[in-house]
Structure 1
Amino acid sequence: MPDSALLEFSQPRRTAHQFVRETLRRAILTGALDGGTRLVQADIAAQLEVSTTPVREALRDLAADGLIHFDPHRGAIVRELDMTELVELYDIRKALESLAVRKAAGEITEAQLKSATELQDRMDRESDVGLWVQLNSEFHSLLYRAAVSPRLFSLVESVQDAATIYVAHSLAVSPGRIKEGNREHRSLIQALRKRDGEKAATILESHLDATLETIVTANSTEDQAEPEQATKRTRSSRR
């Protein structure tokens, strides 16, 4: 990544620690920092014009959220998920997030419904996959906060972040899923507006199932493409 690239993901300054954490989180969740990328504290500090102390604190937070891990020899690495772990994550997401929308159906305010609709309007217009993924996270977080259950929200957010790394990548391969997701979001808002928690949970579970299927398909497509690309390179080298 170029020396100034992280600045594209910088967030409004709060504390230096929060600034670095949210900037790195956004870069990871939008796919700008790929799985397996090494995060060097000194390089990040130089790019974001901070000391290494807030960078070190931010990396600890991201590790706790499951977005990175620490290798004894290479330091902080953007985490890569395998398909088995991803399926497990989505099982957990379905359990937690369906509970959250059931609770939200009885608590959500008109102001929150209005904000969700406005966010979805922006998502309908958004053509950039990375920005759509960011708005998607904001949309889901808004609905889950409406459940008025801080402990549940904290659990949901950590699992959601860990899975979002794959979402951005899969949508780049299958952009048609974005329109489907937008329609499902509209149905979810409608169910919450009617205070129908069971319907909202059913829509949410189907939404997550479809997203998981897109991720698995995208991963399968890439796995098939790699041997073909290797074969082409071999043939080219023989000419």
Structure 2
Amino acid sequence: MDLLRYGERRTTYQFVRDTLSRAILTGQVKAGERLVQADLARQLRVSTTPVREALRDLAAEGLIRLDAHRGAVVRELSKDEAEEIYRIRRLLEPEVMQRAVEWISEEEIEQAAEIQARADAEDDPTRWVELNRQFHRVFVQSAHSPRLAGIVEALQGSASMYILAAMLHGGRRLDEANNQHHQILQAVRDRDVEAVREAILNHIHGTVDGVPDLGKE
């Protein structure tokens, strides 16, 4: 596999993490494939330290699993897991968005709007998924609840591969998801708690309903 062409250099750690994440999400690295630290470091022309850190984070997000005997292995997608992730998101994210409405600054709202403007113009599902994470991260961070933010961001990271699967192989459309983002953004601008809770639940339902039948692990 040629991973280097997928990367855009930021910090070394971010470069490795984003490169591996994109390769997994696009299917360049297949489910069940081993990720060997030394091999990845050589391909990406970095030391093993940022590779080890990136693999640890990808495992926390659910993109890979760390096996005592095989090392890092890319995980299979599972409809059951997608439903579990989104069931928990439905419980937690309305609370996040309610807190965001209460605490978010005008500067943060404009930051989310700028990210969404890029998402509106994006027709590549992989790049859109990255912008989607950035969009939601603004609200999660503005909720002023570090523990809740850590849990929700991990869930959103785990959801990324399912969002992409829904975009590429299921019934999820970019324009539909973008429209839902605009509804969320408008509810936040209006400081409307009920509207924002309804908008985030509608958004979450739209994604999990679009995930194709991937079978059971």
TM-score, normalization: structure 2? Answer: 0.89
Return the letter of the residue paired with 1:184: Q
Give the 5 Å matches for 1:211-226.
211-215=207-211, 218-219=212-213
Which of the two has greater helix per residue? 1
Task: Indicate conservation of the 8 Å contact 1:7/1:48, yes or no.
Answer: no
Give the 5 Å matches for 1:5-154.
5-13=3-11, 16-29=12-25, 31-154=27-150
Q: Distance in 2 between matches of 1:150 and 1:172?
A: 33
Decide which moves more: 112-121 or 47-56.
Answer: 47-56
Return the letter of the residue paired with 1:203: A
Q: Hey, what does 1:160 align to over in structure 2?
A: 156
Deviations 1:78-116 (A, max 9, x none): 222322222111011111111100100111111111111
Q: Give the C-alpha shift of residue 19 in structure 1.
A: 4.0
Number of aligned residues: 215
Return the letter of the residue paired with 1:214: G
* Consecutive unaligned residues in structure 2, runs of 5 or more: none
Compute the RMSD of aligned alpha carbons.
2.1
Give the 5 Å matches for 1:185-204.
185-204=181-200
Matched position secondary structure for 1:219: coil
Task: Indicate conservation of the 8 Å contact 1:97/1:156, yes or no.
Answer: yes
* Consecutive unaligned residues in structure 1, runs of 5 or more: 224-239
What percent of counterpart residues are identical? 45
Deviations 1:91-147 (A, max 9, x none): 111111111001001111111111111111111111111111111111111121111
Q: Distance in 2 between matches of 1:31 and 1:145?
A: 30
Deviations 1:24-81 (A, max 9, x none): 2343345543432321212210111122233223322322332211234432112223
